[in-house]
Amino acid sequence: MKNSDAILAIGCNPAENHPISFKWIEAAIDNGGKLLAVDPRFTRTASKADHYAQIRPGTDIAYLGGMINYALEHNMIHEEYVREYTNASFIVNEKFDFEEGLFCAFDDQEKTYDPKAWAYEVEGSGLPQRDKSLKDPRCVYQQMKKHFSRYTIDMVCSITGTKKEDYLAVAKAFCATGRPDKAGTVLYAMGITQSTHGTQNVRAVAMLQMLLGNIGIAGGGVNALRGESNVQGSTDYGLLFHILPGYLKSPEFDNVDLKSYLEKWTPKTKDPKSANWWGNTPKYTVSLMKAWYGDNATAENDFCYDYLPKRSGNYSFMKLMEKMGKGELEGLVCMGQNPAVGGPDSLKTREALGKLDWLVTVDLWETETSIFWKRPGVNPKDIQTEVFMLPAASSVEKEGSISNSGRWAQWRYKAVEPLGEAKSDLWIIDKFAKSLKKAYQKGGVFPEPITKLAWNYGNHEEPDVHLVAKEINGYFTRDMTIVDKDKTLEFKKGDQVPMFKYLQDDGSTVSGCWIYCGSYTKEGNQMARRDATDSPNNLGMFPKWSWCWPVNRRIIYNRASVDLDGNPFNPKRAVIAWDALEKKWKGDVPDGPWPPMRNDKEGKYPFIMVPEGLGRLYALDLKDGPFPEHYEPIESPAKNLLSRVQSSPAVKVPANMSSDTTKYPYVGTTYRMTEHWQAGAMTRSIPWLVELVPTMFVEISETLGRAKGINNGDQVRITTERGSIQAQALVTSRLKPFDVQGKMVEQVGLPWHFGYAGLATGDSGNVLTPSVGCANTSIPEFKAFLCNIEKGGKRA
């Protein structure tokens, strides 16, 4: 980040929620970079920003769309990059259309789109038609221009409530990074993801960055500031419901066998210049199955594919809570998760927990979830759930790796023994698996998926995490000879696989997570390296500090940082450079060792993870449209100015929502603080942190305070259609009302860290939030809803 000339922090608050990252943001500022903060509140990040622009929660697509339009209109895009490295030149099929807020092929009943209607126009060779002059009205570039021409400055400012001069200052400063020798990065977090159009929000960011040529360069990128220190690790290893480790797709009910699964999910391309790296899906899938089932997985039995659960729908958090509430779940295991505070519509969730037969919570402290059965206002006698609480070790009490926002997996040693009976998660899962295996030996419905699991993590009480890491990296199951270009490599059975390009689909390799292949090689644990020498180009890549996926490539898509001949667009910040004499790339691990694109025979496009090989300005596989379109959040104080469709059409809206501004006149939003963390289980019992932020509070503007007679420190009651909570009010000039189509709409800001468990208690912000989520990911719309606030309220 220190290489950025402009840092746009939108929907995130790095100073408060990623304080260590701020060191590098300040390095960028020291080098002349500009920090641009776009946030509903003037946060600690905004206090350090060169420009701050206020934005109404939920209107990020309008904001970003306006910037896209601005860049296009003022010719601030990186032309060569757009033409050569994105699908701007692709022709869209004739049927594709967008009218009055809806893309073509929308099914009103099902509330879904048919993405086939958005396909590219294909020519004889099977490749999409292209117009490299970008003039064809059916080309992606022109379609995009047309789509975003509606996002004029006046229009977007009346939607977002931003002051025009603030908006222009940010747009100007950021779009200036479209120059080939300038770099801009967009930092984002839950502020834009937790929305019914969260995915499209990030899409808009990606589009803007591609137009400005900011992907793959030093100081560029679309950078998620992850909300937990190892959430990157959790998604890498497939903890989300729709993926397997390494972002492989989780099989669905209609993927009846391995062949049809691979058929469905392995992308294909006819373009020889597209590396289409996901084309290797079979290799990674089979290697994963070998890791899980070991010698039991053979080509004959589809590598135990039948043992994988087949998903028949959406198993997202909200869906699970919904099922639980209907009494359709027998039991629930919450490992380091606190749904009673962390999920939307907390009251419903807490009710729903009472419908379980049994609940297991694994945590360092008693959480609101683990004591839901004796929460205030509830008689434990009325709840039949059997609750088990397993004490867990903290991160310094166990050995393992943590993957940060930069994909660096940093290995950590065990510093102290856990207290009392607390155990590491690895021990707990190991015990679970072994006990289940033992129980299933005696029989049961379909025991093989458990009994046939390969489970070899040592014979000691504490499983050997190094064995886990080695399996994740992968090893050869038999002696292998592999020819790689002009090299012939010999591997012995049991050797660690040095990188994922050597993984096979015939069962000769094991890899628990292909993207981490290379992290634990025969040279040892690469993740434990701590050499703080920066690379010669001094860009802050620190190639010998820990290990990052893939293959320790610090900046992905870095082939887009050079021109067609392999010369860096900005020689002063060269990530990679083609050495024509030695015929290889110098610098970071190149994103594909192939020669530059100019080489028609061997060169490949930079965006190797999509089948086109080119960045998708137009994206076919999202549920709510190939282009982001601004819709209002489900609960909104304003009519959608851009079209007749008020909110995202692809989202099903639950019952307890209300846009009645007479009942709920204010915009509510949630956020986090530096001093507390997540649902507060780990921080609200530490006196030093409680000293800093001792109680649940809400932030309101001075005008709202005056209007409601609320002074700083007064007790207030905040209500939404979901429920009502009490807190103390912090009245500040850092929050201001939004100018929404001429009317001033106030906002109420709520941290969501509090609950009824722990040393410092308070009402939970998520009692108020709606359980409606993004059409693609089901992430709840925590960040924009409607509420009311009144002075007074008695402490429960």
Task: State the DSSP string of 501-525.
Answer: GG--SSSSEE-S-GGGTTSEETTEE
- Rg of the chain over Cα atoms, rounded to whole angstroms, equals 26
The full length of the chain comes to 796
Q: Does 713 bind another protein (CB under 8 A)?
A: yes
Alpha helices, DSSP H, located in 189-297: 190-193, 198-211, 231-236, 258-265, 281-293
Q: How far is the CB of 730 from another protein (least distance, A)?
A: 7
Q: How many helices (H) and strands (E) does the chain have?
A: 20, 33
Q: How far is the CB of 107 from another protein (least distance, A)?
A: 47
> Interface with another protein by CB under 8 A: which range of 40-48, 289-297, 363-371, 774-782?
40-48
Largest CA distance in the chain: 79
Q: Does 549 bind another protein (CB under 8 A)?
A: no
Q: Does 45 bind another protein (CB under 8 A)?
A: yes
Type of residue at 245: P
Helix (H, G, I), strand (E, B) or coil at 90: strand
Map residues 194-213 to x or -, x wherever contact with another protein holds by CB under 8 A. Answer: --------------------
Q: How far is the CB of 732 from another protein (least distance, A)?
A: 6
Helix (H, G, I), strand (E, B) or coil at 558: helix
| Three-state helix/strand/coil letters over 736-780 | CCEEECCEEECEEEEECCCCCCCCCCCCCHHHCCCCCECCCCCCE
Helix (H, G, I), strand (E, B) or coil at 115: helix
Integer Cα distance of 466 and 457 in angstroms: 8
Going by their DSSP bridges, the two strands 724-732 and 697-701 should be labelled as parallel
Q: Does 672 bind another protein (CB under 8 A)?
A: no
Map residues 50-69 to x or -, x wherever contact with another protein holds by CB under 8 A. Answer: --x-----------------
Integer Cα distance of 282 and 213 in angstroms: 32
Closer CB to another protein, 42 or 241, in the complex: 42
Map residues 2-31 to x or -, x wherever contact with another protein holds by CB under 8 A. Answer: -------------xx--xx-xx--x---x-
Map residues 728-767 to x or -, x wherever contact with another protein holds by CB under 8 A. Answer: x-x-xxx---------------------------------
Q: Which of 13, 58, 18, 62 is nearest to 38 (CA)?
A: 13
Q: How far is the CB of 759 from another protein (least distance, A)?
A: 10
Applying CB under 8 A, among 133, 384, 538, 695 the residue interacting with another protein is 695
Q: Does 690 bind another protein (CB under 8 A)?
A: yes
Closer CB to another protein, 15 or 183, in the complex: 15
Integer Cα distance of 570 and 584 in angstroms: 19
- How many CB atoms are closer than 10 A to CB 790? 14
Closer CB to another protein, 543 or 762, in the complex: 762
Applying CB under 8 A, among 395, 674, 678, 703 the residue interacting with another protein is 674
Integer Cα distance of 224 and 239 in angstroms: 18
Q: Does 42 bind another protein (CB under 8 A)?
A: yes
Q: Which of 211, 215, 204 is nearest to 10 (CA)?
A: 204
Contact call for residues 386 and 380 (beta carbons, < 8 A): no
Applying CB under 8 A, among 692, 707, 744, 796 the residue interacting with another protein is 692
Contact call for residues 12 and 188 (beta carbons, < 8 A): yes
Contact call for residues 235 and 202 (beta carbons, < 8 A): no
> Interface with another protein by CB under 8 A: which range of 70-78, 199-207, 280-288, 683-691?
683-691
Applying CB under 8 A, among 662, 688, 742, 795 the residue interacting with another protein is 688
Applying CB under 8 A, among 8, 46, 55, 68 the residue interacting with another protein is 46
Closer CB to another protein, 482 or 730, in the complex: 730
Closer CB to another protein, 45 or 764, in the complex: 45
Contact call for residues 71 and 172 (beta carbons, < 8 A): no
Q: Does 565 bind another protein (CB under 8 A)?
A: no
Q: How far is the CB of 710 from another protein (least distance, A)?
A: 13
Q: Does 689 bind another protein (CB under 8 A)?
A: yes
Q: By CB under 8 A, what part of segment 409-438 binds another protein? A: none
Closer CB to another protein, 258 or 689, in the complex: 689
Q: What is the DSSP letter of 415?
A: -
Integer Cα distance of 244 and 264 in angstroms: 15
> Interface with another protein by CB under 8 A: which range of 176-184, 253-261, 383-391, 671-679?
671-679
Q: How far is the CB of 412 from another protein (least distance, A)?
A: 18
> Interface with another protein by CB under 8 A: which range of 44-52, 408-416, 645-653, 784-792?
44-52
Closer CB to another protein, 698 or 774, in the complex: 698
- Residues in contact with another protein by CB under 8 A are 15-16, 19-20, 22-23, 26, 30, 42-48, 52, 673-675, 687-695, 697, 713, 728, 730, 732-734
